[in-house]
Amino acid sequence: QKEVEQNSGPLSVPEGAIASLNCTYSDRGSQSFFWYRQYSGKSPELIMSIYSNGDKEDGRFTAQLNKASQYVSLLIRDSQPSDSATYLCAVNFRDRGSTLGRLYFGRGTQLTVWP
Amino acid sequence: EPEVTQTPSHQVTQMGQEVILRCVPISNHLYFYWYRQILGQKVEFLVSFYNNEISEKSEIFDDQFSVERPDGSNFTLKIRSTKLEDSAMYFCASSTSGGALTYNEQFFGPGTRLTVL
C-alpha cells in the first residue's frame, strides 16, 4: 500500500510569514511529486510539481524534494490571506506494466493566513 | 487558459439508478483520469484512460463503473447501479504526458457532486 502522509494541521501563520508544509511518502519508486491547493468545496488546483532532488521555485512557492528521505515540502513566502486553503501533496507512481501513473494523495494540510 | 470542464455540477439520484458524469478534458491532452473525494477524506484514484482504453484502475473501480470516450471531446464515467457509499465529489483530470517519460501533471476539473439517496 502506497502511503502519502501530511501533517494535518491546521497550520496558522500571520500575513507575510513563511508557511512550511511537509509530506512523506512510502514508496521509493515514486517518480514525480505535486502540490495542489484545494479551497473548500472546490477541486484541486496544481500549484507546483517537482521531479528531481533539490529545490524548485515558482514565485512565492518553493518545493523541496529529498528522495533519499522520501520527503517533499512546500514553502510559501510572504503568505497572504488568499493562500488560506488545504494543500494536498500528491505522488505519482507508475506500476510495472502500466502505461500511466496514478496520483496518490495525502489528506492535506489546512493552512490559515490571518491578516 | 484552457481548463477541464465537468457536467453536471451536482447530481442527485436514487440508490440503484444509473448516472453518467461528463467531462471535457483540455483539448490537446491525451490522458484522462477520474478521481473521487468522499467528504472529509482523501482524493482517491479511480481509473486512467489512454488511446481509447483503460490504462489502470483501482480497487474502487469495480464492475459498476465504466468509462467511455464517445466522441473526440467528451470523457464519461458511468455508475450502473448507484449505492449510498458512491456519494462523493467526482473529479475528472487530464494531462499531456504519459508513459515512460511522464511527469504526468494532471489538471482537475471543477467536479461533480454526486448525492445518492
* A42 pLDDT above the threshold of 70: yes
Q: Are B31 and A89 in contact (CB under 8 A)?
A: no
* B104 pLDDT above the threshold of 90: no
Distance between CA atoms of residues A79 and A85, nearest Å: 12
Q: Among A18-32, A44-58, A94-108, B2-16, where is mean pLDDT lowest?
A: A94-108
Which sign does the torsion angle of CA B51, B55, B60, B64 carry?
positive
What's the mean pLDDT in B88-93? 98
Residues in chain B: 117
Q: Does B115 touch chain A (CB under 8 A)?
A: no
Alpha helices in chain A (DSSP H): none
CB contact under 8 A, B44 and A90: no
pLDDT at B2: 83
User: What type of residue is A61?
Assistant: F
* B75 pLDDT above the threshold of 70: yes
For residue range A45-87, list pLDDT tens digits in order. 999 999 999 999 999 999 999 999 999 999 999 999 999 999 9
Higher pLDDT, A50 or A98: A50
Q: Give the minimum alpha-carbon distance from B83 to chain A in angstroms, rounded to a whole number.
A: 22
Distance between CA atoms of residues A79 and A56, nearest Å: 18
Quote the distance between the C-alpha of residue A107 and its chain's center: 10
Distance between CA atoms of residues B29 and B39, nearest Å: 29
Closest CA relative to residue A73, chosen from A89, A97, A57, A93: A89
Residues 61-80 of B with CB under 8 A from A: none
Residue of A31, A90, A100 lying closest to B50 (CB–CB):
A100
Optimal mutation site among A99, A104, A105, A107, interface B, most CBs of chain B within 10 A: A99
Residue of B33, B45, B103 lying closest to A32 (CB–CB):
B103
Distance between CA atoms of residues A113 and A91, nearest Å: 26
Closest CA relative to residue B19, chosen from B65, B58, B56, B68: B65
* Nearest residue in chain B measured CA to CA from A90: B43
Q: Give the minimum alpha-carbon distance from B80 to chain A in angstroms, rounded to a whole number.
A: 24
pLDDT at B100: 47
Residues 6+ apart with CB under 8 A from B97: B31, B103, B104, B105
Q: Which helix (H) or strand (E) holds B11?
A: strand B10-13
Q: Does B17 touch chain A (CB under 8 A)?
A: no
